A = this chain, B = another copy of it.
Amino acid sequence: MAVIAEQLSKVLGLPVRQLEPLLALAAEVKLPKGDFFTRPGERADRFAIVLEGLVRHYYVDARGKESVKAFRGPLEVSGPYAELISGRPSRTFIQALAPARLLCLQWEVLQRAADASPELSKMLRRFAEAQFVNKEQREYEFLQLTAEERYLQFCRERKEHLGHVPLHQIASYIGITPVALSRIRARLARKR
C-alpha cells in the first residue's frame, strides 16, 4: 500500500501525506474480466484508480451502436467523470477487459476532503485541466486526421494495449467500424 501511495503521489503531483488519509477511505474492488464497474442508469458516485488490469469506458446509443471513449490501465483514473461532475445519471459503461483491481473512492468524500485542503483542491483542478487537454486532443484528431492516421496515432500512443484490446474496440475508439479498420490494416501491411 505504501508503494501505491508513492506511485500515486508522483502521478497526481500530490505529497504522500495528503494522499494517505484518502487512501484510508478507499476500497479495493476486484473486477473479473467482462464485469462492470459502472453501468448507465446507476447513480454515478464513485471513481477509481486502476491498480491492475485494463478497463474500457464506452456508451451505447439508441441504435445500439457502441462507442469506446477510453481505455485505462494501471495508475490511470477510471470512472464516469463527466457524470460525477454534472450530477447527471451515468450513461457510460465501464467494463474490465482483463481481470482488474481498482482502488475506489466515493466522489463525495473527495469533494469534502478538497474543501478542507487547498493542495487537494488544486490537484483536482489540475486533474480536470489535464482531462480537458486530453479531450481537446481527441477533438483535434477527429477534425484533422483521417481514420488511418488516427489508427497509427493510437498504435504509437497506446502500444501497451495493442495485444490486449480486440481490434473492433480500437475501431470503435477511433470512430470507424471493424470492417473499415481491417481494410486499413491490410492496406498498411501491403505498403510495408
Contacts and interface: CB of A to CB of B under 8 A. Distances in A.
Interface string A125-136: 100111111011
Contact of A85 (B61, B129, B143): B129
B61 A144 contact: yes
Contacts of A86: 133
Interface stretch (A7-15, A116-124, A156-164): A116-124
Contact of A133 (B82, B130, B133): B82
A95 interface: no
The contact size tier of chain A is: 20 to 34
Contacts of A125: 121, 124-125, 128
A190 interface: no
Given A118-B118, A121-B121, A121-B122, A175 B128 contact: no
A128 B132 contact: yes
B136 A82 contact: yes
28 contacts: A59-B140, A61-B144, A67-B140, A67-B143, A69-B136, A69-B139, A69-B143, A82-B133, A82-B136, A85-B129, A85-B130, A85-B132, A118-B121, A121-B122, A121-B125, A125-B125, A125-B128, A128-B128, A128-B129, A128-B132, A131-B132, A132-B135, A135-B136, A135-B139, A138-B139, A139-B139, A139-B142, A143-B175
